[in-house]
Amino acid sequence: MKLQPALIFGEHMVLQRDKEIKVFGTSAADDTVTVTLCGESVSAIAEDGAWEVTLSKKDACDKTTMTISSKVTEEVIEFKDVAIGEVWLAGGQSNMEFLMKFDYDFEETAKLPDDNKLRYFCYPQTAFKGFLETENNCPNWGFWRKWDDVENRKQFSAVATYAAMILRKKLDVPVGIVACNWGGTPAAAWTKREDLEANPALKPVLDWHESELEKINWAKYITASDKKAAPQDPHMQEVFERMMMGEDMSDFFKNFDPSVFMQADFVPFMPGPRSTVRPSGLYENMLTKVAPYTIRGAFWYQGEDDDARDWAEFYDESMKTMIKSWRNLWGYDFPFYQVELAPFKGVGPTAAKKYPLIRHKQAKAVADTEDAYDICILDAGEELNIHPRHKKIVGERLGRVVMKHTYGDNSLVADCPRVIGISKEPEAIVISFANAAGGIEVRDGLGEVLKISQGGLSKSYIAETDGDKLVLLLRYEAHKPVEIKYCEENFCNAALFNSEGNPVYGFEFEA
Alpha carbon separation from 20 to 269, 299, 331, 335 (Å, rounded): 37, 21, 12, 17
Nearest CA-CA partner of 8 in 283, 293, 295, 285: 293
Q: How far apart are CA 67 and CA 468, in angstroms?
A: 56
For residue 164, with 0-12 CB atoms within 10 Å meaning exposed, 13-18 middle and 19 or more buried, which class applies?
buried
Alpha carbon separation from 468 to 430, 437, 472, 484 (Å, rounded): 10, 8, 13, 18
| pLDDT tens digits, one per residue of 290-334 | 999 999 999 999 999 999 999 999 999 999 999 999 999 999 999
| pLDDT tens digits, one per residue of 412-468 | 889 999 999 999 998 999 999 999 999 999 999 999 999 999 999 999 999 999 999
β partners of residue 507? 486
Sign of CA dihedral 400, 405, 409, 412: positive
Backbone angles phi, psi at 223, to 5 degrees: -60, -45
Q: CA triplet 481, 485, 489: central angle to 5 degrees?
A: 145
Q: SS3 sequence, 356-410?
A: HHHHHHHHHHHHCCCCEEEECCCCCCCCCCCCCCCHHHHHHHHHHHHHHHCCCCC
Q: How many CB atoms lie within 10 A of CB 218?
A: 10
- Specify the pLDDT at position 158: 97
**Band (266; pLDDT cuts 50, 70, 90):** confident
Between strands 496-498 and 76-92, the pairing is unpaired
pLDDT at 253 over 70: no
Nearest CA-CA partner of 64 in 42, 83, 78: 83
Residue with the bigger pLDDT between 465 and 271: it is 465
pLDDT at 231 over 70: no
Q: Is residue 473 a contact partner of residue 427, using CB atoms and an 8 Å limit?
A: yes
Q: Which domains does the chain have, with CATH numbers?
A: 87-415 (3.40.50.1110), 418-510 (2.60.40)
- Specify the pLDDT at position 254: 65
